[in-house]
Amino acid sequence: MKRGVSKMLLSLLILLGALVVGSYVYMQQPKFGQRPVGADLIRISQSPNYVNGAFQNQLPIPPSDNEENMATILIKYLFTKKERAIPSVPIPSAKTNLLTLDANQDVVIWLGHSSYYLQLAGKRILIDPVFSINASPVPFTNQAFAGTSLYTVEEMPDIDYLLLSHDHWDHLDYPTIIALKDNVKRVITGLGVGSSFKRWGYNPDLIYEGDWNQSLQLDDKLTVHFLPARHFSGRGFIRNSTLWVSFALITDGQKLFFSGDSGYGPHFAEIGRQFNGFDLAILDSGQYDHGWRYVHMMPEDSAQAAEDLHARALLPAHTGKFSLAYHAWNDPFIRAVKASENKSYHLLTPMIGEPIWLNNKTQTFHHWWEKIANL
């Protein structure tokens, strides 16, 4: 009996060892990126936001929101039952030909989830592009909704500025970044994220990494500001070796804010005061859960953040392409509409690929998700 138990324990230890070794080998693939080392690590360690070997939020995340590691999140995601997680039919779209757009027109085009194509002050900008149909380190675990993979790299014009808010898989997509390499003139991201770009063959001279409350004068017409967010980072088991950021893009005629992934916090009101409001706020409004309240906003939080920012218009982000949380796929849109009733801003709900003309202050969009919900 004891011998049988010993053999069973030995077999379990061998299996566990094989899983550990296999996971380590798997995570050496280039797609996992590169944590800062050497001179890169020395440089980021000088940031006031880098404490005890990791970046810190301005306000601490309560322990219950910070104790799930990558393995726990993946297991919960795979085995938690979801209701209406995936739309019943392909998501509708209105594909705009980006190659033929007049570069002098200020425009924002939602590409799905948190990916955006922008034209500001004659510059072409791409934010958090994910053109893959899978946003996960494990194949087939996080498939894009049918109809949402509308664009390919080949359909992108040359990009003046590629902005990356942080290194999570649904924002920093390895196949997309590799394919874009010859089309990008400059990469702009938070501290430490540039190490992955260097591993992937990007010219270090084209990479600019910023800390919170720093700014980069891109030319005489466009400035990008690196601003705080309330989130975390990491492409593997180790968190917070790179910085997560939000962005403000300022020109003579437009002021835009992109939250990246962020829980609600006082930083929105501070940013609103600093910039005296925004023409458009693109805010994290999907993939939420009560247990993630401090790292992702619910639509009601986004509505309050838009008011804190003194935004003229709100564009919900982080939804409509992937199911990363446990709510219904259309819940973010339904709740955003309700939360925006009688608010000071204008809620924008374009389809993927539908242009938002920034100089048109009265442009409206229909509730395209309602037709799907009734099928």
Average pLDDT taken over every residue of the chain: 90
Which one, of 190, 252, 243, 182, lies nearest residue 216 by Cα?
A: 190
Which one, of 199, 168, 181, lies nearest residue 36 by Cα?
A: 199
Q: Do 44 and 245 form a contact (C-beta atoms < 8 A)?
A: no
Taking phi first (over 0 means left), then psi (-120 to 50 degrees means alpha), and beta for anything else, what does residue 156 get? beta
Question: Which residue ranges of the chain lie beneath pLDDT 50?
Answer: 18, 20-21, 23, 65-67, 70
Q: Which helix (H) or strand (E) holds 246?
A: strand 246-250
Q: What is the pLDDT of residues 83-136, one digit of tens each?
A: 788 999 999 999 999 999 999 999 999 999 999 999 999 999 999 999 999 988
Superfamily of domain 98-373: Ribonuclease Z/Hydroxyacylglutathione hydrolase-like (3.60.15.10)
The tokens describing 194, both together, are 């540039």
Please say whether the dihedral angle defined by the alpha carbons of residues 184, 188, 193 and 198, taken in this order, is positive or negative.
Answer: positive
Model pLDDT, residue 84? 83
The tokens describing 149, both together, are 């993979």
The number of beta carbons lying within 10 Å of the beta carbon of residue 367 is 12
Q: Which residues contact 60 (CB under 8 A, 6 or more apart)?
A: none
The letter for the amino acid at 184 is V
Specify the pTM: 0.91
Model pLDDT, residue 68? 52
Q: Which residues contact 333 (CB under 8 A, 6 or more apart)?
A: 316, 319, 320, 349, 367, 369
Q: Do 63 and 321 form a contact (C-beta atoms < 8 A)?
A: no
Taking phi first (over 0 means left), then psi (-120 to 50 degrees means alpha), and beta for anything else, what does residue 359 get? alpha
Please say whether the dihedral angle defined by the alpha carbons of residues 186, 108, 216 and 234, taken in this order, is positive or negative.
Answer: negative
Q: Do 344 and 86 form a contact (C-beta atoms < 8 A)?
A: no
Strands 255-258 and 280-284 turn out to be parallel
The number of beta carbons lying within 10 Å of the beta carbon of residue 266 is 12
Model pLDDT, residue 4? 59
Which one, of 348, 311, 318, 347, lies nearest residue 332 by Cα?
A: 318
Taking phi first (over 0 means left), then psi (-120 to 50 degrees means alpha), and beta for anything else, what does residue 282 get? beta
Question: What is the SS3 assignment for 174-221?
Answer: HHHHHHHHHHECCEEEECCCHHHHHHCCCCHHHEEEECCCEEEEEECC
Per-residue b/e over 289-309, b at no fewer than 16 CB within 10 Å? eebbbbbbbbbbbbbbbbbbb
Model pLDDT, residue 351? 98
The letter for the amino acid at 7 is K
| Beta strand segments in 43-193, E | 50-51, 54-55, 107-110, 116-120, 123-127, 161-164, 187-190
Model pLDDT, residue 67? 47
| SS3 (DSSP) at 6 | helix
The number of beta carbons lying within 10 Å of the beta carbon of residue 78 is 10
